[in-house]
């Protein structure tokens, strides 16, 4: 089995970590970090590109040297550079970098002075008071380390949904070829599209369970077999992900799928309803007085307890059961409902593709429109646009819109929201654009009061359209900013602006519970890719998953609108008299011709 993108990314990260602990050249370290990000987020597997004999240097950001390393990893499952670095430093040391507060310099000291190589050893050294004596550490640092290790312990073992997807999809395609197999479904939190996944739970139907079990544990990514019985097995894959597998009879498939999809609290609530109706429910079926009355499909299970079918993303016991009983569940949005994307970057800043490449890729997705929203000047690391470069980009967009058929590029910006809530470009510049996407990229640590005021003030700008990645969190890397999101959502409703659900796998921000809140307040959410390359549009499926977890329907999503409807909605972002707003709302129901461009 060739290496997955996530494996390649992990190797590049490990190389960068080891180089960093060694104190190597920062540019070299950055090159590996970038490569890890690019490969990790790439939606096509590198090995699949190689099988098609495509040149890996065609992947934006991957040069000849990195391309050779990727080939080496894919074909040999190893990397000679990493092997060499490992002879100089124990690889486990890189785990220490993940403990908040520990940088490469400190890790170097811990290793050389105390021979600390693992997180457990770190914990012991802190607990025994050996760390405070090291130069540059002290008692307070030691206490921080102790607390950080404790908090860190329950985080690291989960996988981001997009990463789990790589392993789950490869394993699933292996399993469908197992002897006598009929159905294979990855259930659990993965099927519910949770943003991180603890382990994979797979439900299978097959004529004979035994050969399937044998076939499963022979998968060449299996590193350890925890249990293997007649109908169930648990293994750990080489990437560290646990997989629990169950083979069930065809007649129990629905009941098993329901049970293993969870969530646990949803299951408990459904079982309670069953009991009140005098029914017994378990992973084999639904029973009345010992006789099976349902279980072959999930629909039959729900029907037996008087509920309509509940999509997996809603099964969190957050009110879905009451609605299912009343047959009033939301009609959840689907990927195919999107008519465009309102947040994308190009080579002009930190994206990897040209305007034209992005436009053509958007067209291939079948969309009507794509908003180009490169960074503004404040974000120097991304070579953000100043008014002049933005004006030039707008001219290029006009020319492309003249030339290209079947796709419209919208002129936008991802403008930095500065510390005081002002926007990073002059008003007259912002006023000329089709839309303004505002984002926080600095000062994440402001107090709740100041952070909230900052965002509210930004949204008061007459041209403000969409608040990008509202919480600012990066999954497992950076906690969300402290913001009164309920106030932000209400203000967005009052101002007629919108919130983004950013589909980047490490963001998935707006959180699902805030999506629910936005829905209740009537604030539309824009599910955006924040694409930095043409590949990134494929991440929208994870964004849609999160939107569905947040109960959003097609009508709650801004970019399910036709271009004509969209333009009316985004022109409304200025403060307008209630009389006009009312008229706009009426107009929204009609599909109007696009505004002259
Ligand atoms: P994860 O793996 O932590 O991301 O989350 P899940 O939801 O996949 O949880 P997991 O793998 O422990 O269990 C898979 C499903 O099995 C879970 O969603 C519901 C079901 N399940 C597990 N334990 C129990 C239980 O004690 N009672 C009930 N009713 N269901 C359970
Ligand atoms: Ca699971
Ligand atoms: Ca499990």
The 10s digit of each residue's pLDDT in 126-163 is 989 999 988 888 899 899 898 888 877 666 679 999 99
C-beta separation of 274 from 267 below 8 A: no
Residues 25-52: what's their mean pLDDT? 90
pLDDT of residue 103: 85
Q: Is 468's pLDDT higher than 70?
A: yes
Name the residue with tokens 């967009």.
Answer: 397
Task: Give the separation between CA 349 and CA 308, rounded to whole angstroms.
Answer: 48
Task: Give the separation between CA 329 and CA 61, rounded to whole angstroms.
Answer: 44
CA of 192 to the centre of ligand 1 (A): 11
DSSP 8-state class, residue 42:
-
Residue 434 in contact with ligand 1 by CB distance below 6 A: no
CA of 147 to the centre of ligand 2 (A): 27
Looking at 9-13, 547-551, 569-573, which range is the least confident one?
A: 569-573
Task: Give the separation between CA 423 and CA 468, rounded to whole angstroms.
Answer: 13
Residue 263 in contact with ligand 1 by CB distance below 6 A: yes
- H/E stretch holding 62 reads none
C-beta separation of 368 from 408 below 8 A: yes
Task: Give the separation between CA 548 and CA 554, rounded to whole angstroms.
Answer: 10
- Partners of 160 in the beta sheet? 196
**Vertex 333 angle, CA 331 and 339, to 5°:** 140
Task: Give the separation between CA 485 and CA 92, rounded to whole angstroms.
Answer: 39
Nearest residue (by CA) to ligand 1, atom 28, is 264
Instruction: Please state, rounded to an integer, the average pLDDT across all residues of the chain.
Output: 92
Residues 491-517: what's their mean pLDDT? 96
Q: Please state, as a whole number, how many other Cβ atoms lie within 10 Å of the Cβ of residue 280.
A: 16
Question: pLDDT grade, residue 572 (50/70/90)?
Answer: low
CA of 428 to the centre of ligand 2 (A): 51
Residues by chain with Cβ below 5 Å of ion ligand 2: 188-189, 199, 201
Nearest atom in ligand 1 to the alpha carbon of residue 189 is 8
3-state secondary structure of 504: coil
pLDDT of residue 153: 67
Nearest residue (by CA) to ligand 1, atom 26, is 264
Name the residue with tokens 């050389």.
Answer: 112
**Vertex 170 angle, CA 366 and 41, to 5°:** 55
Q: Greatest CA span in the chain, whole angstroms? A: 77
Q: Is 48's pLDDT higher than 80?
A: yes
Name the residue with tokens 């409807």.
Answer: 565
Domains and CATH numbers, the chain: 5-153 (1.10.150.110), 156-248 (3.30.460.10), 264-329 (3.30.210.10), 335-591 (3.20.20.140)
pLDDT of residue 2: 77
Question: pLDDT grade, residue 55 (50/70/90)?
Answer: confident
Task: Give the separation between CA 14 and CA 30, rounded to whole angstroms.
Answer: 12
Rg of the chain over Cα atoms, rounded to whole angstroms, equals 26
Q: Which of 157, 192, 245, 267 is the best mutation target for the ligand 1 pocket, counting ligand atoms within 8 Å of the beta carbon and taking the most?
A: 267
CA of 396 to the centre of ligand 2 (A): 48
**Nearest partner of 217 among 198, 201, 203, 234, judged by Cα:** 234
Q: Is 575's pLDDT higher than 50?
A: no
pLDDT of residue 104: 85
Name the residue with tokens 């079948």.
Answer: 366
Task: Give the separation between CA 119 and CA 377, rounded to whole angstroms.
Answer: 40
CA of 454 to the centre of ligand 2 (A): 39
- Partners of 291 in the beta sheet? 288
Residues 85-89: what's their mean pLDDT? 85
Task: Give the separation between CA 68 and CA 171, rounded to whole angstroms.
Answer: 26
3-state secondary structure of 326: coil
Task: Give the separation between CA 277 and CA 304, rounded to whole angstroms.
Answer: 9
**Nearest partner of 494 among 464, 470, 516, 514, judged by Cα:** 464
Structure tokens at 20: 């960093």
C-beta separation of 245 from 268 below 8 A: no
Task: Give the separation between CA 449 and CA 525, rounded to whole angstroms.
Answer: 24
């Amino acid at each position: 089995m060739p290496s997955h993108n996530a494996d390649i990314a992990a190797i590049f990260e490990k190389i960068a970590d080891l180089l960093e602990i060694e104190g190597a050249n920062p540019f070299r370290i950055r090159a590996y970090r970038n490569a890890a990000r690019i490969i990790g987020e790439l939606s096509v597997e590198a090995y699949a590109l190689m099988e098609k004999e495509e040149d890996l240097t065609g992947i934006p950001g991957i040069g000849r040297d990195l391309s050779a390393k990727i080939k080496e990893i894919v074909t040999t499952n190893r990397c000679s550079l990493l092997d060499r670095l490992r002879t100089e430093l124990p690889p486990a040391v890189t785990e220490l970098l993940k403990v908040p507060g520990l940088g490469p310099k400190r890790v170097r000291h811990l290793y050389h002075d105390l021979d600390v190589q693992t997180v457990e050893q770190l914990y012991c050294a802190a607990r025994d008071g050996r760390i405070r004596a090291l130069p540059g550490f002290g008692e307070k640092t030691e206490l921080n380390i102790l607390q950080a290790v404790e908090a860190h312990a329950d985080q690291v073992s989960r996988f981001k949904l997009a990463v789990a997807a790589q392993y789950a999809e490869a394993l699933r395609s292996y399993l469908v070829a197992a002897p006598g197999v009929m159905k294979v479904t990855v259930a659990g939190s993965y099927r519910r599209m949770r943003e991180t996944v603890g382990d994979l739970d797979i439900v299978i139907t097959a004529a004979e369970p035994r050969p399937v079990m044998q076939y499963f544990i022979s998968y060449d990514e299996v590193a350890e077999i925890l249990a293997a019985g007649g109908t169930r097995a648990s293994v750990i894959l080489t990437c560290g992900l646990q997989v629990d597998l169950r083979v069930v009879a065809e007649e129990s498939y629905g009941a098993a799928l329901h049970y293993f999809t969870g969530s646990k609290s949803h299951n408990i609530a459904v079982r309670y309803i069953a009991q009140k109706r005098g029914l017994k429910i378990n992973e084999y079926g639904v029973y009345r007085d010992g006789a099976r009355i349902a279980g072959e499909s999930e629909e039959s299970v729900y029907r037996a307890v008087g509920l309509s079918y509940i999509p997996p993303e809603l099964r969190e016991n957050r009110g879905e059961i009451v609605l299912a009983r009343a047959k009033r569940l939301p009609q959840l949005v689907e990927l195919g409902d999107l008519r465009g994307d309102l947040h994308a970057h190009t080579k002009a800043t930190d994206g990897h593709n040209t305007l034209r490449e992005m436009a053509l890729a958007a067209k291939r997705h079948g969309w009507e429109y794509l908003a180009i929203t490169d960074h503004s000047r404040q974000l120097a690391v991304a070579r953000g646009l100043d008014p002049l470069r933005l004006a030039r980009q707008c001219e290029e967009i006009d020319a492309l819109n003249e030339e290209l058929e079947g796709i419209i590029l919208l002129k936008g910006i991802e403008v930095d929201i500065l510390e005081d809530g002002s926007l990073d470009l002059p008003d007259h510049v912002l006023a000329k654009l089709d839309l303004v996407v505002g984002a926080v990229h600095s000062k994440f640590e402001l107090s709740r009061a100041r952070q909230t005021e900052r965002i509210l003030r930004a949204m008061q700008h007459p041209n403000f359209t969409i608040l990008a990645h509202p919480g600012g969190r990066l999954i497992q890397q950076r906690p969300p900013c402290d913001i009164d999101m309920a106030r932000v959502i209400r203000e967005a409703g009052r101002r007629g602006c919108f919130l983004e659900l950013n589909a980047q796998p490490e963001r998935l921000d707006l959180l699902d519970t805030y999506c629910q809140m936005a829905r209740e307040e009537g604030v539309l959410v824009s599910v955006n890719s924040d694409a930095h390359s043409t590949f990134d549009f494929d991440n929208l499926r994870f964004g849609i998953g999160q939107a569905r977890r947040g109960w959003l329907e097609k009508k709650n999503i801004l970019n399910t609108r036709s271009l004509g409807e969209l333009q009316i909605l985004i022109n409304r972002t200025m403060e307008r008299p209630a009389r006009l707003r009312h008229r706009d709302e009426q107009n929204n129901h009609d599909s109007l011709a696009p505004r002259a461009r």
